[in-house]
Copies of this chain bind each other. A is one copy, B any other.
Amino acid sequence: MPSRVRISDVASAAGVSIATVSASLNEVESARISADTRARVREVADRLGYVPNRLAQGLRAQRSSTIGFIGDRVATTPYAVGMVRGALEAARAADRVILLMNAEGDPELESRELATLLQHQVDGVLYATMYHRSVEVPSGLGATPVVLVDAESADPTVSSVVPDEISGATTAVGELLDHGHRRIGFINNTEPILAATGRLEGYTRTLERAGIGLDPTLIIAAPSIGPEGGYRAARQLLELPERPTGLFCFRDLMAMGVYQAASEAGLRIPQDLSVVGFDNMEFAAGLDPGLTTVALPHYEMGTWGVRELLGLIDSPSRKAKQVKLCGQLIRRRSVAPPPT
């Protein structure tokens, strides 16, 4: 294996000092190096295939130009990969690279992984969760800048970006109201995460604002958040004496189970039952009929997180920000006026 070309090889080939090579390639402005010399050094470096050593640069500058991205299972489940994409693109735009870690929801593993990130001298850390929830910033991070993504902290000095759950639910329920529905059910998640409590609040508020009294029998927290949970909850709702004509589901995967329950009950979507999901997963367009749903701002949270983190790295004393980003309604064919 040929060994890597070193800066000293470039210096001798170009007949200049190592410092001149370094300054020429790094565009150090104050250095008094002629344009000719700069050009010659660059030409020699290119010809030899010299690659600057960012590890060495990082040590000198005490900046590694790397960012740690640690998630519970964010990077390795289909659901939230948009966050990773957003983070990668924002990092690339700023000439930073991302060290990726997955803690699998295991606190002990997480603290080991954070220690490894710090050993690798990351300039800052994005701490991301799969579902919007409240977290404590791991103490092991010390003074390293951190931004929470899809998670928030009770500590106002910590920057975070989360989806606006209330607005997301308002959008979903509003779509049903706009089509004339008055009896609207909500199939929620049982876990006390902010995604669930926020969407419940959005559902409740939106109905109240429309002058519709809350009927607790129309709200079901499903024990499982897969299609099976949606199926069971929908069975229960569709057997009510006065059944709902529209259903808002915590997740597209639950909406999928609603489709099955509706089909078994002989109800057509959307003629007999309207359905709105949440997540805009890959299969939502493929359901029959295509599922109207709310897309979470995963990509936008990833890019915002990286940009905020870079700001904190550059100005450690700057004030933390907590932002909420709105999701977007993706209209397909699962919503129609209620049957008359």
Contacts and interface: CB of A to CB of B under 8 A. Distances in A.
A89 B100 CA distance: 11
A54 B120 contact: yes
Contact of A88 (B54, B102, B121): B102
A84 B78 contact: no
Tell me whether chain A's interface is mostly helix, strand or loop, or mixed. Answer: helix
A4 B49 CA distance: 35
A100 B59 CA distance: 21
Which 5 A-B pairs rank lowest in CB-CB distance, beginning with the nearest?
A: A227-B286, A78-B78, A76-B85, A260-B288, A54-B119
B286 A55 contact: no
B285 A283 contact: no
Contacts of A76: 81-82, 84-85, 88
A338 interface: no
Interface stretch (A110-118, A164-172, A180-188, A233-241): A110-118
Interface string A68-85: 010000011111011011
A100 B102 contact: no
Interface stretch (A91-99, A152-160, A203-211, A319-327): A91-99
Interface stretch (A13-21, A27-35, A212-220, A251-259): A251-259
Given A100-B88, A288-B263, A120 B283 contact: no
Contacts of A52: 119
A269 B54 CA distance: 58
Contacts of A51: 115, 118-119
A142 to B, nearest CB: 7
A282 interface: yes
A116 B99 CA distance: 13
A78 B75 contact: no
A131 B43 CA distance: 38
Contacts of A49: 142
A266 interface: no
Nearest to A81: B76
A2 interface: yes
Contact of A84 (B92, B100, B282): B100
A22 to B, nearest CB: 14
Contacts of A89: 102
A285 B1 contact: no
Given A55-B64, A97-B99, A281-B283, 4 more contacts: A49-B142, A55-B120, A92-B101, A97-B120
Contacts of A54: 116, 119-121
Interface in A45-72: 49, 51-56, 58-59, 64-66, 69
A174 interface: no
30 contacts: A2-B142, A51-B115, A52-B119, A53-B121, A55-B55, A55-B64, A59-B59, A75-B84, A75-B85, A75-B88, A76-B85, A77-B81, A78-B281, A84-B100, A88-B102, A89-B102, A92-B101, A92-B113, A97-B116, A98-B99, A226-B286, A227-B283, A227-B286, A228-B286, A256-B287, A259-B288, A260-B288, A281-B282, A281-B283, A283-B283
